[in-house]
């Protein structure tokens, strides 16, 4: 009996595994299936297409140099009565020296917000030399305040997760996973930069406590990387499918007499069930992600004219890829329209 029960559980586990794996069909598998159906009904074959990928950009290449305005340990003791004394001590600690860019931004905002009061206190106590040194350091940090912000976002490890190589967007998802949280994170970053531009340091400091949470959401969503993978899959698939439809038309099409044939009705089923029912909705989701993400990334670049030159090149490559997807989709739609029109199957015919 125990052996039978063990066999039953083993079989049940195997069936669950098979069921789970069958529900995880990849985007490439779905597109290959669509292509194979077109090939069969059209009795055509075509060469595989390719797409030029965007070069991966390590976040270290995004980071900007920051001013080195240190205060030594003896001077630190004299800042003990200032509100920024603890922040300066944190920056000088072993952990502070290896702090993440987002943590560095928080410390710099503390210094910029409360530093002027410390300068005034030092002057009142007659310590003009340290007051002047601190004022100079604060002026340097003030000039570089957007640099700290930039490093906290495009220079972060979370940005690497956001933009790295990942699996494509989910095939049947009507709403892209993590789209809302990713857009909230990017909008937060843009709003934070706006506060810094307007010199609203206290407001930026108050809101910066949410930076870590938004960065975490940005990294966990992996949305730009997933959009890239979807685009890499779609562009060649759309061109290849369009080429098959075009080739068949060039040798007469499925309906040379202008009336639906048996093959044309099968093709119409492929159009309705697989193109209109699956491929087109996936295209819409992918397009929406690119349409939402890329303008926000461009806004970030506009806020930082000193951004490394390679960043603008990387952005241009993202836009190039989005344009190629639109072109591939347009070609694909026109090829379908031409074949359906020949068979009198276009809506309105």
- The pLDDT tens digits of the residues spanning 311-326 come to 999 999 999 999 999 9
State the DSSP string of 247-280. HHHHTT-S-TTSS--HHHHHHHHHIIIIIIIIIH
DSSP 8-state secondary structure symbol assigned to residue 92 = H
The pLDDT of residue 4: 42
Tens of pLDDT, residues 119-145:
999 899 888 988 898 899 999 999 999
Question: What b/e readout covers 121-138, taking b as 16+ CB neighbours within 10 angstroms?
Answer: ebeeeebeebbebbbebb
Rounded to the nearest 5°, which phi and psi values hold at 96? Answer: -65, -35
Collect all residues with Cβ–Cβ distance below 8 Å to 192 and sequence separation of at least 6.
149, 204, 207, 208, 211
Question: How many whole angstroms separate alpha carbon 209 and alpha carbon 329?
Answer: 43
What pLDDT was estimated at residue 11? 44
Q: Where are the domains of the chain?
A: 28-55+222-342, 67-143
Contacts (Cβ under 8 Å, ≥6 apart) of 219: 156, 157, 158, 159, 160, 161, 162
CB within 8 Å of 87: residues ≥ 6 apart: 107, 110, 111, 114
> How does the average pLDDT of the chain come out, rounded?
89
* 286: alpha, beta or left? (left if phi > 0; alpha if psi -120 to 50): alpha
**pLDDT tens digits, the chain, 349 residues: what are they?**
444 444 433 444 444 343 333 334 699 999 999 999 999 999 999 888 999 999 999 999 999 999 887 666 557 667 777 888 888 878 877 787 778 999 999 999 999 999 999 899 989 988 898 889 889 999 999 999 999 999 999 999 999 999 999 999 999 888 887 999 999 999 999 999 999 999 999 999 999 989 999 999 999 999 999 999 999 999 999 999 999 999 999 999 999 988 899 999 999 999 999 999 999 999 999 999 999 999 999 999 999 999 998 999 999 999 999 999 999 999 999 999 999 999 999 876 6
CA distance 312 to 39: 41
Please report, to the nearest 10 degrees, the dihedral formed by the alpha carbons of residues 185, 189, 190, 196 taken in order. Answer: 160
Name the one residue in this structure whose structure tokens are 């199957």: 345
């Amino acid at each position: 009996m125990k052996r039978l029960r063990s066999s039953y559980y083993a079989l049940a586990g195997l069936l669950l595994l098979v069921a789970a794996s069958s529900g995880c069909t990849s985007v490439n598998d779905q597109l290959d299936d669509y292509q194979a159906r077109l090939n069969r009904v059209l009795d055509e074959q075509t060469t595989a297409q390719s797409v030029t990928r965007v070069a991966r950009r390590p976040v270290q290449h995004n980071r900007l140099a920051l001013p080195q305005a240190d205060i030594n340990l003896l001077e630190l003791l004299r800042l003990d009565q200032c509100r920024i004394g603890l922040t300066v001590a944190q920056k000088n600690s072993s952990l502070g020296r290896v702090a993440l860019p987002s943590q560095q931004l928080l410390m710099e905002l503390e210094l910029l917000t409360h530093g002027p009061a410390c300068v005034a206190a030092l002057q009142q106590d007659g310590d003009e030399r340290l007051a002047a040194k601190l004022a100079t350091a604060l002026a340097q940090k003030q000039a570089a305040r957007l640099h700290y912000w930039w490093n906290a976002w495009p220079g972060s490890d979370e940005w690497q997760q956001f933009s790295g190589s990942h699996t494509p967007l989910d095939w049947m998802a009507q709403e892209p996973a993590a789209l809302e949280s990713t857009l909230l994170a990017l909008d937060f970053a843009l709003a934070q930069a706006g506060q810094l531009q307007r010199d609203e340091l206290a407001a930026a400091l108050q809101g910066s406590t949410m930076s870590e949470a938004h960065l975490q959401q940005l990294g966990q969503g992996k949305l730009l990387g997933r959009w890239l993978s979807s685009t890499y899959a779609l562009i060649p698939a759309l061109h290849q499918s369009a080429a098959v439809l075009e080739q068949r038309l060039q040798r007469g099409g499925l309906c040379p007499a202008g009336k639906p044939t048996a093959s044309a009705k099968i093709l119409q089923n492929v159009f309705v069930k697989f193109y209109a029912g699956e491929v087109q909705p996936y295209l819409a989701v992918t397009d929406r992600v690119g349409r939402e993400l890329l303008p926000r990334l461009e806004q970030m670049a506009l806020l930082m004219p000193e951004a490394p030159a390679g960043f603008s090149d990387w952005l241009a490559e993202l836009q190039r890829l989005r344009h190629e997807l639109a072109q591939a989709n347009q070609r694909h739609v026109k090829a379908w329209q031409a074949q359906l029109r020949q068979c009198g199957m276009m809506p309105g015919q």
